[in-house]
Amino acid sequence: MAMLIKGGTVVSTSGRRQLDVRIKDEKIIEMGCDLEVNEDKIIDASACYLFPGFIDGHTHLELENDLATTSDNFVTGSQAAVAKGTTTIIDMATPVRGSSLNNCLKTWNQMAEGKASCDFNYHMSLIEWTPAIKAEVSEMIAQGITSFKMYMAYDAMRASDAELFEAMKEIKKVGGILGVHCENGDVINQLQKDYLQTGKVAPKYHPLSRPNVLEAEAINRYLTIAGQVGLAVNIVHLSTKESLEVVKRARAKGQVVYVETCPQYLLLEDSLYDLPNFEGAKYVCSPPLRKPTDNKALWQGVIDGHVQTISTDHCDFNFSNQKINGKDDFTKIPGGMPGVETRPELIYTAGVMTEKISLERFVGLLSEDIAKQFNMYPKKGVIQIGSDADQILSFGTLNKGMLLAQKHK
């Protein structure tokens, strides 16, 4: 069915323009002023902003670890996404150690295809580095998976520096991009043991076992290795002031570094871990929530362009029957928070409405620049002829919930 969206103010990173947008077969086929009305369906958007569909570049919708399985799946998680305007997600496909990347991709497709209410793709996690895994990296590229994820923390998934180095060389060879969870896993393990041995088991010890310096050190090491290889890299969920300074120094030397942060690192602080009745467990995530000084530094990074994208690291667990299992040991609290639904409203409210960022920058952070970074642009991330017909009509202000995600299926 054809559709005409009339008179909306189309927003991109380059500006705003009031236009009609004609859609057919899930594609934008015409744009202009006062287009001829001959569609079966017409939407009057004259009082609306028209945004490209938002993209969440970092989700864990069906993550299973040794503590729990996320309470969301591709059905519920994608429904939450589209409810407030996120029309594409990029989920972390994570293989079982000893299994192939192709088997992992097949598993994730089985979980998502026919169940997700939004478009989706994956980052492929490399939780080990073997000759067989190396041979599959180019196969992933051929199947449309152009980004990869590695970890410097978590014993079951952690890569050594040598493995990072070898993986980077192969990813560069095939034209992919690497994102890494940057925390010093060895020191975190020891700090956790030290706290537990002295009876310090409450949620408030979670951030103390993962201090700022351990993220900054890992990022410095990661970027040093990437600089040796000459690979453009992504830092996922950057959370500290010190880490951002490491990035700035690397860029000053000519390195290409992309930075993602998340709403929780812009808006929440570590005092929440002190809440009574184990309520602090709700906010256990890794990296942990930080200090107000870190919030402020990251907002300044967003404003100055040192932070390119805001995604969520959506990874939710129920408090009453999952998080509660760590009541006597903070390391047993499943780590993660929701966010795929609330991100647009939160960043609009805290960023646009406070005049920290413009609408154009808002679109870049939540859509256009994510699409460009992960080879989705201009199919995604922009409203122009030939692009997918994913767009959001905003009536008034986003924080009032007056948001319509228009997904044409």
Q: What is the mean pLDDT of residues 49-58?
A: 97
pTM: 0.96
d(CA 367, CA 379): 11
Q: Where are the domains of the chain?
A: 3-50+381-407, 54-373
Reported as a pLDDT band with limits 50, 70 and 90, residue 408 is very low
% residues pLDDT > 70 (the chain)? 96
375-396 pLDDT, tens digit per residue, is 999 999 999 999 999 988 885 5
d(CA 336, CA 68): 11
Q: What is the mean pLDDT of residues 193-204?
A: 99
176-188 pLDDT, tens digit per residue, is 999 999 999 999 9
Over the chain, what is the mean pLDDT? 95
Q: What is the mean pLDDT of residues 224-245?
A: 99
d(CA 236, CA 289): 15
Q: Is the pLDDT of residue 405 over 50?
A: no
What pLDDT does 116 receive? 98
- Taking CA atoms, 365 is separated from 106, 176, 262, 395, in Å, by 30, 21, 11, 20
Reported as a pLDDT band with limits 50, 70 and 90, residue 63 is confident
54-373 maps to CATH 3.20.20.140 = yes
CATH of domain 3-50+381-407: 2.30.40.10
What pLDDT does 76 receive? 97
253-266 pLDDT, tens digit per residue, is 999 999 999 999 99
